[in-house]
């Protein structure tokens, strides 16, 4: 059924089907608080191509989820404000669109899976009602047709007995099944970009593997671009094509997944990898990055990682912060001493 929504989406001014699927350029987001201005995202850039998985990796508070919220246009404002940069979907800067058009991009072209499925789902409506509502509002379907599509979606994400479970409430599902419902909601309107914000949080390792396998299968079937936001190095290793490592609101390393894991070029990335438990080091003390991430209202001068860095020298403590050096043709790292980190010198 053709709807006004689809027609208007195709008519977005400047929409170029041959342009990159998603580009984030020099994005800057700040939170204006009583304690000062927190620079949550400070010049972040990356892109996502069809069928590609881009992972945004880093500790809690580094700006990963804020970046996703900015892309979706769901940033709480105030206190959050986008102060610079561009977010391009097929060549169209979403930040310059009127809110009415921006809403039509959400779910239709760019969708998001939230990390806490129980909080994201409305507890007073059945999952079937919540899924069907998307089709009624965005596709103009009747209640009967919309509910039939809801059942198909639950089947798609491998929920057993979908015809019966479509009438259940969120609390009647396990954590893994609720996350599958969230995936179904995100995929309902056939988006081209799927943002998965910590999609395996609070799930056991077996269910984590099932959820990530399901996402990979659906992505391949639909040739979607997947933006995976996580702090889990194991999840990233299995599914990502490219990784952007964030620290204190900045991308401090960007590379293909094999390069990142084989030879990290930033001390922070190296510290993250060394903190992963390994079978061959059984009985030894687990490595950890000393100290804590900086308070975003008081980021230290120079490299924001310098108080925790084993390679730190005087130049690291001086403004400006190191920019992204070209490590190779498709790899960058924001470290003055990336060669030493990699072991090239």
Residues 209, 151: Cα–Cα separation, whole Å: 24
Hey, which bits of 170-274 come out as E strands? 193-197, 225-230, 242-247, 250-256
State the sign of the Cα–Cα–Cα–Cα dihedral 117, 123, 128, 133. Answer: negative
Cα–Cα nearest to 93, from 10, 7, 16, 195: 16
> 11: buried, middle or exposed (CB in 10 Å: 19+, 13-18, 0-12)?
exposed
Cα–Cα distance between 301 and 5 in angstroms, integer? 47
- Whole-prediction pTM: 0.90
**How far out from the chain centre does Cα 24 lie?**
12
Nearest to 171 by CA among 161, 181, 163: 181
Residue listed under structure tokens 């990979």: 216
The domain spans of the chain are: 268-278+286-345
Cα separation of 345 and 343, whole Å? 5
Rounded Cα–Cα distance for residues 157 and 312 (Å):
48
Q: Over its length of 345 residues, how does the chain's per-residue pLDDT go in tens digits?
A: 333 334 344 557 778 888 999 999 999 999 999 989 999 999 999 999 999 999 999 998 899 999 999 999 999 989 999 999 999 999 999 999 998 889 888 889 999 998 877 788 999 999 999 999 999 988 899 999 999 999 999 999 999 999 999 999 999 999 889 999 999 999 999 999 999 998 887 778 888 888 889 999 999 999 999 999 998 888 888 889 999 999 999 999 999 999 999 999 999 999 999 988 777 777 778 888 999 999 999 999 999 999 999 999 999 999 999 999 999 989 999 999 999 998 865
Q: Which residues does 62 contact at the CB level (< 8 Å), separation at least 6?
A: 246, 247, 248, 249, 293
């Amino acid at each position: 059924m053709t709807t006004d929504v689809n027609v208007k989406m195709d008519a977005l001014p400047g929409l170029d089907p041959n342009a990159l699927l998603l580009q984030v350029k020099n994005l800057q987001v700040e939170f204006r608080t009583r304690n000062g201005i927190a620079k949550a995202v400070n010049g972040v850039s990356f892109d996502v191509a069809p069928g590609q998985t881009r992972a945004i990796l880093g500790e809690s508070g580094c700006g990963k989820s804020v970046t996703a919220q900015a892309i979706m246009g769901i940033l709480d404002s105030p206190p959050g404000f986008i102060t610079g940069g561009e977010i391009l979907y097929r060549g169209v800067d979403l930040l310059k669109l009127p809110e009415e058009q921006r809403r039509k991009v959400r779910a239709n072209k760019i969708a998001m899976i939230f990390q806490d499925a129980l909080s994201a789902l409305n507890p007073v409506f059945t999952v079937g009602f919540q899924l069907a509502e998307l089709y009624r509002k965005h596709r103009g379907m009747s209640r009967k047709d919309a509910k039939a599509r809801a059942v198909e979606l639950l089947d798609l994400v491998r929920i057993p007995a979908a015809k019966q479970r479509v009438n259940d409430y969120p609390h009647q599902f396990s954590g893994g099944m609720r996350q599958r419902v969230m995936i179904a909601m995100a995929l309902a309107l056939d988006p081209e970009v799927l943002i998965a914000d910590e999609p395996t949080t609070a799930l056991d390792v077996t269910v984590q593997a099932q959820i990530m396998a399901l996402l990979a299968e659906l992505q391949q079937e639909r040739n979607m671009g997947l933006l995976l936001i996580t702090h889990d190095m194991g999840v990233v290793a299995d599914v990502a094509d490219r990784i952007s490592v964030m620290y204190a609101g900045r991308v401090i390393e960007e590379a293909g997944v094999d390069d990142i894991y084989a030879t990290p070029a930033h001390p922070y990335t190296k510290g993250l990898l060394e903190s992963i438990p390994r079978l061959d080091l059984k009985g030894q003390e687990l490595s950890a990055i000393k100290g804590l991430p900086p308070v975003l209202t008081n980021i230290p001068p120079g490299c924001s990682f310098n108080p925790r860095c084993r390679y730190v020298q005087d130049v690291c403590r001086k403004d400006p912060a190191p920019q992204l050096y070209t490590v190779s043709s498709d790899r960058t790292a924001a470290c003055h001493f990336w060669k030493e980190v990699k072991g090239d010198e």
